[in-house]
Amino acid sequence: MSTIADGKVVSFHYTLTNDKGEVVDTSRDRDEPLPYLHGGQNIVPGLERQLTGKQVGDKLEVTVSPTEGYGERDPALTQQVPKDAFPDDLEIAVGMQFVAQSNAGPVPIWIAAIEGDTITIDQNHPLSGETLHFDVEVVEIRDATDEEKEHGHPHGPEGHQH
C-alpha cells in the first residue's frame, strides 16, 4: 500500500480551524479534495511533515504551530497608508490580497483595516501568529509525473493550469 512520501501527489480533504474554533477554510464544501505535491512545499510545513507516512483512508487531527504554519506576526510589516495611494477605481475591502513591488521583488500584501482615508496594509499572512488545527482525510496517493516534479506542483487532468 502506498504511503505519503516525497514525490507523491496526495489529495486530501481538510477543515482548518483557528484557536477560537472558527472554521477558516474547508475543502468539504468544494467536493474535490485538495491535491498537492509532497515535498514541494505546496502546503504549510507542519502539515506536510505530519502527513508523511500516512495512507489512503487515514484520518488525522493535526495541530500546527505558527512557526510551522504561516509564521509569527511581525508588527513591523504592518503599515498605514493614505487611501490616495490606491487607484481610484479600485474597490478596497478588508481581507483583499494583492501583490506589491518592492526592492526585494513582488511581495503579497493584505488589506488589514480601513478607517476613513487610512488603509492598514499588512505583509503578514492573515493566519500568521495562529495555531492551525487541521482535520484531515487522505483520499488519494499517486506517483507524481516527471513534469509535476519539475514544476513542483500537481497537475489536473488537463495538465498544467497555472
Q: Which of residues 121-160 bind Zn ion (CB under 5 A)?
A: 151, 160
CB of 152 to Zn ion, least distance (A): 8
Q: Are 13 and 33 in contact (CB under 8 A)?
A: yes
Residue number, nearest CB to Zn ion: 151
- What's the closest the beta carbon of residue 156 comes to Zn ion, in angstroms? 10
Q: Output 95 or 157, the one with its CB closest to Zn ion.
A: 157
CA distance 104 to 91: 27
Counting residues that bind Zn ion (by CB under 5 A) gives 2
Q: Are 149 and 37 in contact (CB under 8 A)?
A: yes
The alpha-helical segments, DSSP class H, found in 8-154 are 45-51, 146-151
- Closest to Zn ion by CB, 102 vs 145, is 145
For Zn ion, the closer of residues 142 and 151 by Cβ is 151
Give the largest CA-CA distance in the chain: 58
* Least gap, CB of 150 to Zn ion (angstroms): 8
**Minimum CB–partner distance for residue 87 and Zn ion (Å):** 31
Tally of CB atoms within 10 A around 121: 20
Label each residue of 33-69 as H, E or C.
CEEEECCCCCCCHHHHHHHCCCECCCEEEEEECHHHC
Whether the Cβ atoms of residue 78 and residue 68 lie closer than 8 Å to each other: no
Q: How far is the CB of 105 from Zn ion (least distance, A)?
A: 21
Does the protein bind Zn ion through residue 30 (CB under 5 A)?
no
Residues 106, 115: contact at Cβ < 8 Å?
no
Which of 18/42 has CB closer to Zn ion? 42
Nearer to Zn ion, 33 or 35 (CB): 35
- Contact positions vs Zn ion (CB under 5 A): 151, 160
